Structure formats: C-alpha cells, structure tokens
Chains A and B, each alone.
Chain A
C-alpha cells in the first residue's frame, strides 16, 4: 500500500458518473422551416443564403441562392417579397430586407462574372421550352443543370417575356435582365427567337418533353362606350411598344383604367413618355387595389393621380365621362349615377391579361379551364410529356411564381424523362416565432434602399430603387434571426451546466448523451429555436 494515510481508493474523475441516466427528455438539434423559405414562391432557401452572406461569403451565398433561382438580380428588383411579409423579425422590429440582399448578391454576381457550370453528364434527352419568360428561363436553367438539351423558343425578337415587355426599365434595367439571361443561355441553351409556335402538336413528336410557358400576353378588353375618335389603347401593347417599337404617342393627359400593377406601370410609363398628367381611374378604393402598395406609393411620388371609386361611362375625343361608384355591403362597387367630365387625350386599358392558347388546340387530353391550361401537381397537362407553367396555368401571376414553376416543371420533367416519380421530401415543421429567444438578437433597425426622388423620376427610365452597398447588405443579412436553424452562437455549448455539448472544429455541435441530464437549458436559451426536447423512450 503506497497510498497516504487513511486513503484507500485511487482518485477518480466524475467522468465515471454517467449522469445522462437521469434524463427523461433529450434535446435534439433540428432544422425547422423558416417562414421566409416557406413563403417563397420560388422555393429559395433564404435562411441559408443569408447565413452564407452574413460572414461576407457572397459567392457562396449566391450559389446557394442559384440552386433555386437563376435570376437573383431580377428578382431582387421585381419580387414582391412574400418572404419579408412572413419574416419573424417583423414581430420584433422590422422584417429583414431579404429582397435588397438578394439584389445585392445578384448584382455582385454580374459584376464579378460568376457562372454556374453544368456538371451533370448529358442525358441525351431534348426538351422544348416555349416562352422565354421567367418560367421558361428558370426551367431551361434547371434542365441544363440536370444534363438535358434545351431549346428555348420565343415569338418575340428578344428573350425575357413579360420581364422585358411588361416590366418597365425603371423597375428592371435591361442590362441586368440581359446579363442574367445571357448567363443561362451560355450554359448551352439553344435560343430560337422570333419563332412563334402556332401549334405545339408537331413538337410533341420531335422532343422528349415540352414545357409551355407562353404567359398571358393579351390585354383583356372591356366594353367602353366610346365615340369613333376616342383614342383607346391597351396597356400591354403600350408597355411592349415602349420596349420594341417607337414610343407610342399618348398625349398630354393620359387616363389609365384599372387598378393592378400593370395599370400603375402604364401610368408611370406615361409620365416618363412626356404626359403632363397621368390619372388612374379605378372602380374601388385604394385598399382594394390589387397593385402592390410600394408601386402605388412610388407612382404617387411621381405625380400620378388616382381617381378611386370611378368608372368610365363614356369616352370621346379629348374627354371622358366618369361615373362615381360606391361599395355595397359586400365590397362590390355599384354605380351611383353621379357623372363628371374628365379631359383625356388617350385612355389606356389595364384590366388584366389573358393567355393565347391557340397553340394547344387539338392536343389530346389537354384541358383548358377558365382560360388557362389545367395541370396536375407535377405541372403536367393531360397530355403525357406536355407540361405547362407560369401565367398560362392557374396561379398568382408574378415573376417569382414563374421562376418557381420553372424549377418545379424542370424537376418533374426530369423525373418523367427518367420514368420515375419525382421525390418531394415532406417539408420540415415550421419555425415558430414563439420558439425563438429574441433576447439574444442585437437591436438593429432595417436598412432602407435609397430611392430617386419622385420629381426627378418623370421623364427618365433610370432605375428608381437603388441598391444596398456591400456594407449595408452585410448589415441587413446579419439581421436574420436564422429561425429554426443553428447559426453557431455557442449558446447551447455555453449554458449547459454539465458540459454535455461538444463543439466540433467545423462549428457544429453534438450532444453528449452520456452526461446530458435533460434540463432543457440549451433549448430554452437557443436564440433561434433549433433545439427540441423529445421524450426518452424506455
């Protein structure tokens, strides 16, 4: 016995005592579905690319973004960002400016010339995409990444669809649009312009699969009682002519009839074409305008006037008769019989658009309902191998939805070409605001993108909303709370009284269940709610 007096046992570490045996519940790391990702019609993993951007890895962030959306610079300008409406930070101070960061990343990619390589082996399959709008471009991009040959066909002389012929340049500069389209074309897409597909039937034999994404290009006509000399134009045509033909002569006073985004675009365009007054006439109230509020605000800043609760009763040369409306109990507008005169050199109708579906006439199995093509959850029409997406199928008609359709169509076409069912993993459970511990987020106000002053905008198609600088974009990205997904704050590692969290060199964590007593402190103190307690099963 060489132990000191009265010592009979060797010194041991308490590590021999596996206190994990006390546990009745165990903490488990999870990846929940953040509200931004859930709300994104293009299915972007926004939380992940903001995470990548937070430490200044813009290229990595851009590549994460590009996995879902090949048009970030476009989307960072024209998307109505449902992600920001859903953003949990909105319940704390203000939503994260996701859209602005997306634009910054998109612009940075154009500036740096980042490209996406096609690494998949050629599949030997050939897909025709009809329509080079957001749906067609996104589909072509994803199909190329999957190794398929793609022919992208469009009736217009230049690609982009409504992004070029519907969205004015002050919202989407054409050099940005051209750059993002060129990047997709450079991936090996065969682009056929000025080629209208009058009937898709022959192509169904020539290609392994066909995606129709021709959009909704025809302005909806409404009967407006009008004298012969009245000058009545269609908003879709006006916006198109600005882009590809001589600027239309609208006159000094222009009235736009309608309340959607196209109506606002037409009125703001009229101001830029030299109209001294542009007046939007709409049957309901501002609250009920389908146009996005930011667009209405910008239009008002530019001096566009609004006549709500009004309808055009009669149009004549140089003058209109307006009838005042009122809303009934159900919110439907009804005439009041009160008339007033309004001078107008031209009337532009912006009452919605319809799809020209003549190209699918006679296709077996294909069903047209309510003026749009019926598709299943794979975006396939009733005719096998013929898919359709974008504005010509039942959907909310935005660029973002179109990009989302492009991705979905491409994945389902790929599955169809391989003769398998497309596997869609069930979405993770929602990351709830209540699971966050918002104490830990530093107070930080939202960074606002500078805008050109209203009076300086009329008469120029310069871009209205300016971009964030790298500095402000970084700040904005760091406002992300990373809802439901670990962002490496070390709180779990720190607050465990039992040292039962292991921090790995790559910044990930692991729970050492030998010593975790299941107290739940890590769950409670996780800022982003990415840990969950689950009962131990005996």
Chain B
C-alpha cells in the first residue's frame, strides 16, 4: 500500500495519471509505452473488469520484472476471450493450463527456470475465482504450502462467468446466479457458505497476501510491485466486477468496485506471513445498499418489495469487515494547511463520513442504476454475437 506522501496535485493519486507529477511518480498505466500485456481486439464483454484488472496487474508485473516474466493462465473467461485460435491478445510469454491446475503448472515453470539457472525470470499465475477458489484450490494450497516462487493472481468476479454465470465458492450471499435463482423464501445464493480465500491464504502464512480492486489503480500497482520484489508464494486477490454476470451497466465497472471498498463489503488490505500489515481506509463511507443497487443480481432485494432482512444481513457483513480490518479512521496524515501540503496517495483518510453517495451522476440511490434491473436476468447463453465463439 502506497503511503508515500504525494504533494497536492489536483487529483492527488486518485486518477490514473497526473500531468503535474514528476515522471518517477507516475503510475505504470499512465505511461504511453506501458507493456499492454493484454492488447486490443480481445473478446471480453464491454466494460470487462477482468480484462482491465489483468492489464493493470501484468503491466505492473512486467515493469517490476523488467519484461522477464512467464505467465500461466487457468481456463476461464480470461483465457477464452484472449486466445481464440490462432489469435492471441497476450504480449507476454503465456501458457494455458487446464481449469484446475494453474498453480501446479506455475510451480513447474518456476522449478524449470530454477533448473535452468534463470533466476532473473519471474513466474506469475492467474485465474478466475472459479479456477482458484474451487477447482484449482488443492493445487493452490499445495503451492502455498511448498512456498513455491510464484505470484498467483485471482481475478474475482464472484461466479463462473465463462460458462454462464454459475455460482462459485466466491459468490456472495443473496446474489442471483444461474444456479442460485432469485426464487423461493431465500432467493439468491445462501448465507454461510463460500470461501474467503485471502484469509485461507493467510492461514498458510505465506510471505505475502493482498486484496485490491480495479477502482484503485495506485494501490493495485503498489501491491504488484511489492509482491514482485519478494520471493516465495504470494497471493493477490483482485476484485473485478463483471457487467454481464452482475447485471450492471458496462460503464459502472470501476464505480461498482469503488462502492465495494467504500461500503466495506470488500476489504482491501495486505498481509505478510499471516498478519495483516495495512488496510486501505474508507474515504467516503456509503451504505452497502449503494453498492447493491447498481447490480441486477441483487435486484430481488429491492423489487417488488425491499427485503429488509437480507439488506440488514449484508450491511452487517460490511460492518464486520470494517470492524475486523479497521477500515474506518484517520491515516494519521495531517490535513493540508497551506502551501504545498501533503496528502496520502492511495489511502486518504475519511474526510466526508456517510455521504449519501459519491455524488456522481447518475446517482446510485435514485433511478438509473435500478432501471437496469427491470430487465429479466441476463442469460449469457442467449447473448448476441460477441460471445458466440466462446465455449459454454
């Protein structure tokens, strides 16, 4: 987590770039010569959070590794939309593994490089939440347990999106998926199941575990850079909204990720050897409802009537995260007083508590977001042309 004070330059370090910053302080993504590890022409849906997150992560990893890096990719959306034979969107050395064994293949890659004496080449593995939390979990746990020199990235879009939005072990309670329909007395996914893999990873006491979102680029890049500077098993869990699977507007991908952190429903933190070492504080706290309302997968909580019981339980889950990780409070950085004051880059303190929304039209609490949900549940199998090539 960046705690380097950034002088007040209009947008601080909230935006991707900042023309007023010195080049050495610029983000990787603001560089016109960034690696673009995942290049244009890929077939991800409009506004895909995973495509965005993958480029953010791999470009930062490429910058940290000086371009000497091998990536291993589990089956899933990320693999399918990027590599329909014979095309590839990858501009990094890239291996496709089957759904369940990306950690094992990455372990093999790292071992092979070690055998070749190539300790200058780093190994990064990546997969979606299905390939990580469920199908590849045994391999992942083994990789952690052996402390293999691999950075594993999980792009968490909270369901099996590639095959038609089925529930995964990362699907949150109450969310509607193709296999947890919004019907019956307890619509959507059940409470009390699923896995919190960042905490499971911490339980392995590996050198580094962190969570991040596509809404806070500086934080994400700093974590990748930090992870790449370390050796052994490292785990980065990136929250990547899925417009199609979540029934959200394609333009709301970053906004939803931001609301997830600002509501506390997705805690952003980092841990070393099993201990939490820093958290990203909430800047402008919002009720979890602000986050839910933008997503069709939660529409049944608001229509035809508000499901107060479930909303209360989800708010309680956010509140538990806030308490557990200490997401509220000051960062002990003084307010700018005059002249060229300092602001903390990635983790500004809570300045405007409990605003009704982040004041950005269209409002989260009023109509536009919800209007989306008037439509029937998105069914990826009947989705038009762009996805027709994908395996189902």
- On A, residues with C-beta under 8 Å from B are 9-19, 22, 54-55, 92, 434-445, 447, 469, 471-472, 474-475, 478-480, 487-491, 493-500, 503-505, 507, 512, 514-515, 517-521, 523-525, 527
* Cα of A520 to Cα of B10 in the assembled complex, Å: 24
Is B343 close to A, CB under 8 A?
yes
The one of B41, B48, B249 in contact with A13, judged by C-beta atoms closer than 8 angstroms, is: B41
Verify B40–A493 contact, CB threshold 8 A: no
20 contacts between A and B (CB under 8 A): A14-B40, A437-B358, A438-B359, A440-B14, A441-B10, A442-B10, A444-B336, A478-B10, A489-B11, A489-B17, A489-B19, A490-B30, A491-B16, A497-B48, A500-B40, A503-B30, A524-B252, A524-B254, A525-B254, A527-B11
4 extra interface residue pairs, beta carbon distance < 8 Å, beyond A22-B385, A434-B361, A475-B341: A442-B348, A491-B17, A494-B17, A521-B253
Is B302 close to A, CB under 8 A?
no
* Cα of A17 to Cα of B20 in the assembled complex, Å: 36
Given contacts A12-B86, A19-B40, A55-B20, contact A517 B46 (CB under 8 A): yes
Verify B360–A15 contact, CB threshold 8 A: no
Tally of B interface residues using CB under 8 Å = 64
Verify A17–B43 contact, CB threshold 8 A: yes
Verify B251–A524 contact, CB threshold 8 A: yes
- Closest A-B pairs by Cβ, 7 of them: A490-B17, A494-B16, A520-B251, A442-B12, A14-B41, A519-B47, A519-B46
* Cα of A392 to Cα of B201 in the assembled complex, Å: 78
B199-227 CB mask vs A (1 if < 8 Å, else 0) is: 00000000000000000010000000000
- Looking at the assembled complex, report how far the CB atom of B357 sits from the nearest CB atom of chain A, in whole angstroms: 10
- In the assembled complex, which residues on chain B have CB atoms less than 8 Å from the CB atom of A495? 16, 52, 254
- In the assembled complex, which residues on chain A have CB atoms less than 8 Å from the CB atom of B243? 519
Most interface-central of B8, B15, B335 (chain A CB within 10 A): B15
- In the assembled complex, which residues on chain B have CB atoms less than 8 Å from the CB atom of A440? 11, 14-15
- Looking at the assembled complex, report how far the CB atom of A436 sits from the nearest CB atom of chain B, in whole angstroms: 7
Verify B361–A478 contact, CB threshold 8 A: no
Is B386 close to A, CB under 8 A?
yes
- Looking at the assembled complex, report how far the CB atom of A528 sits from the nearest CB atom of chain B, in whole angstroms: 10
- Looking at the assembled complex, report how far the CB atom of A368 sits from the nearest CB atom of chain B, in whole angstroms: 49
- In the assembled complex, which residues on chain A have CB atoms less than 8 Å from the CB atom of B49? 497
Verify A12–B88 contact, CB threshold 8 A: yes
The one of B19, B51, B85, B343 in contact with A9, judged by C-beta atoms closer than 8 angstroms, is: B85
- Looking at the assembled complex, report how far the CB atom of A6 sits from the nearest CB atom of chain B, in whole angstroms: 11
Verify B10–A11 contact, CB threshold 8 A: no
Is B132 close to A, CB under 8 A?
no
B236-271 CB mask vs A (1 if < 8 Å, else 0) is: 000000010000011111110010000000000000
* Cα of A12 to Cα of B82 in the assembled complex, Å: 12
- Looking at the assembled complex, report how far the CB atom of A327 sits from the nearest CB atom of chain B, in whole angstroms: 38
- In the assembled complex, which residues on chain A have CB atoms less than 8 Å from the CB atom of B11? 440-442, 489, 527
The one of B39, B86, B348 in contact with A499, judged by C-beta atoms closer than 8 angstroms, is: B39
- In the assembled complex, which residues on chain B have CB atoms less than 8 Å from the CB atom of A436? 360
Q: Which chain B residue has the least Cβ–Cβ distance from A474?
A: B340
- Looking at the assembled complex, report how far the CB atom of B389 sits from the nearest CB atom of chain A, in whole angstroms: 10
Verify B41–A18 contact, CB threshold 8 A: yes
Verify B55–A493 contact, CB threshold 8 A: no
Is B338 close to A, CB under 8 A?
yes
Verify B86–A445 contact, CB threshold 8 A: no
* Cα of A130 to Cα of B39 in the assembled complex, Å: 66
Is B89 close to A, CB under 8 A?
yes
Q: Which chain A residue has the least Cβ–Cβ distance from B28?
A: A494
- Looking at the assembled complex, report how far the CB atom of A52 sits from the nearest CB atom of chain B, in whole angstroms: 12
Verify A521–B251 contact, CB threshold 8 A: yes
- In the assembled complex, which residues on chain B have CB atoms less than 8 Å from the CB atom of A515? 40-41
Is B29 close to A, CB under 8 A?
yes
Q: Which of B1-39 contact A (CB under 8 A)?
A: 8-12, 14-20, 27, 29-30, 32, 36, 38-39
- In the assembled complex, which residues on chain A have CB atoms less than 8 Å from the CB atom of B27? 490, 494
* Cα of A463 to Cα of B224 in the assembled complex, Å: 55
- Looking at the assembled complex, report how far the CB atom of B311 sits from the nearest CB atom of chain A, in whole angstroms: 24
* Cα of A320 to Cα of B75 in the assembled complex, Å: 94
Is B351 close to A, CB under 8 A?
yes
* Cα of A491 to Cα of B30 in the assembled complex, Å: 8
- Looking at the assembled complex, report how far the CB atom of B194 sits from the nearest CB atom of chain A, in whole angstroms: 26
* Cα of A54 to Cα of B340 in the assembled complex, Å: 12
- In the assembled complex, which residues on chain A have CB atoms less than 8 Å from the CB atom of B32? 493, 503-505
- Looking at the assembled complex, report how far the CB atom of A27 sits from the nearest CB atom of chain B, in whole angstroms: 10
- In the assembled complex, which residues on chain A have CB atoms less than 8 Å from the CB atom of B258? 439
B86-111 CB mask vs A (1 if < 8 Å, else 0) is: 11110000000000000000000000
The one of A13, A22, A480 in contact with B386, judged by C-beta atoms closer than 8 angstroms, is: A22
Verify A16–B46 contact, CB threshold 8 A: no
- In the assembled complex, which residues on chain B have CB atoms less than 8 Å from the CB atom of A480? 10
Verify B340–A519 contact, CB threshold 8 A: no
Q: Which chain A residue has the least Cβ–Cβ distance from B358?
A: A439
- Looking at the assembled complex, report how far the CB atom of B371 sits from the nearest CB atom of chain A, in whole angstroms: 15
* Cα of A102 to Cα of B331 in the assembled complex, Å: 35
- In the assembled complex, which residues on chain B have CB atoms less than 8 Å from the CB atom of A523? 251
- Looking at the assembled complex, report how far the CB atom of B354 sits from the nearest CB atom of chain A, in whole angstroms: 16
